[in-house]
Amino acid sequence: MNHSSLPFEDLPPNASGLDDTLQRLQLEEMLAKYFYDACHPQQQALLSNCEWYITTYSEAPTLIIECPDQIVNWQVLKSLVKIGVVLKRIAKKGKIRVSSPGSKAAPFEMRVDELPVYRYPN
């Protein structure tokens, strides 16, 4: 069969595209596991109350944290520097995006290279 005569949507999937997608999913899964294992038990407990994952679709690996309510959202935001320090170990140009369902506000987003701005003097 001559594939060049078929319209684009009728062509078989590009094998390299499928391989790339599978590799990206495996990378994201491994980054998430490494990140979670590197977190302190308090951060692990906090993350377990949320839906979270790491995506590599943007220019930098991004930790997405979706909080179930405003209380957990506030707890996550208070722990953001500690979470960011862990993420920075595996992604020097990583980002964190925190959102709460039902909130009409845009999600809070920060880059791990901005951590010094968010640290308070002791």
Average pLDDT of the segment spanning 22-33: 91
* CATH code, 12-118: 3.30.300
pLDDT digits (tens, 9 = 90+) for 89-117: 999 999 999 998 776 778 999 999 998 88
Q: What is the pLDDT, as a whole number, of residue 104?
A: 75
Residue 3: pLDDT above 60?
A: no
Domain ranges of the chain: 12-118
pLDDT digits (tens, 9 = 90+) for 38-93: 999 999 999 999 999 999 887 789 999 999 999 999 999 999 999 999 999 999 99
Tokens 């500690």, residue? Answer: 82
Alpha-carbon distance 37 to 41, whole Å?
9
Residue 49 in contact with residue 68, Cβ under 8 Å? Answer: yes
